Structure 1
Amino acid sequence: MNISTVNDLTHKIIGCAMTVHTALGNGFQEVIYQRALAIELQLKGLSFEREKEMLIFYREMHIGTRRVDFFVENAVMVELKAVEKLEDVHKAQAINYCEAYNIADGLLINFGAKSLEFKRVYNKKLVTPNPGNPVIPVIPVIQ
């Protein structure tokens, strides 16, 4: 997916999150915002998987799983929080998920603050194809 398309997609996701935060405000548990955001994403016609379980590998060995809050349009990982303030540890966690799943772009969205907080995160360790080997290693996904 090209950068312009990813930018448009993240803009739409953030817009959906703003709609949810405007309607619900802060103070609910994360799962409430997750359910509301799923409705908004559907209304915008965006494809997504919610609570997508993905395998985590270390040195090509399966060491565990993690559920991504949302994986939108097979391109953007979305991690939700409902905390008073986003901390560096939350951003580090979102970046780690992008790296573990070899996903280029992610969004960290916090519904717990008085105003909606969001940060875009990037995978600086993204494995991309090279001319001699056009296959990107794919991390298996639990279906």
Structure 2
Amino acid sequence: MDAMDENELAKKVYFAALKVHQNLGPGLLESAYEECLFYELQKIGLRVEKQKALPLIYEEIRLEVGYRLDLLIENKVIVEIKAVEAFTDVHTAQVLTYLKLTGCKLGLLINFNVALLKNGVKRLVNGL
């Protein structure tokens, strides 16, 4: 699956998230959606890391400050899962920061607490 670019991966993530949302609907905890999406993505053969620790590198020191990526797909796409009433600027900033720290180009912010999943997905691109 390494040959897939970020957009192809994002499409697969979206359809897997749509399946999870159709089966579970809104109203559950983020951790439930994360586990189910993790399962669906692995089932279709993607390499997925869950709750991946993300250190902060500052000058010559490495800080283990507790940042964790919800899902990292094929070392290319970051997925941050929410179950909130609405996205805030903090959610966007969180994903953009993760993109900068990892060097990944694409992040998906997915809110499962919506009636229609298409209204709960935000694509964020790292300007590098």
Normalised TM-score (structure 2): 0.89
Instruction: Provide the residue aligned with 2:27 in structure 1.
Output: 27
Structure that is richer in helix per residue: 2
Match of 1:85, SS state, is coil
1:95: which partner in 2?
96
Alignment of 1:80-119 (within 5 A): 80-116=81-117, 117-119=120-122
Give me the whole-angstrom Cα distance separating, in 2, the residues matched to 1:110 and 1:49. 19
Root mean square deviation, CA, Å: 1.6
Per-residue CA distance 1:96-141 (angstroms, 9 max, x = gap): 111122221111111112222111111113xxxxxxxxxxxxxxxx
- Give the TM-score taking structure 1 as reference length: 0.80
- Secondary structure at the residue paired with 1:22? helix
Stretch deviating more after TM superposition (24-33 or 101-110) = 101-110
Partner residue of 1:37?
37
Gaps of 5+ in 2: none
Q: Which structure has the bigger radius of gyration?
A: 1
In 2, the alpha carbon distance for the partners of 1:60 and 1:97 equals: 19
| Percent of aligned positions that are identical | 39
What's the secondary structure of 1:54's corresponding residue? strand
Q: C-alpha distance in 2, partners of 1:18/1:42?
A: 15
1:62 shift after superposition = 2.0
Higher mean displacement: 10-19 or 63-72: 63-72
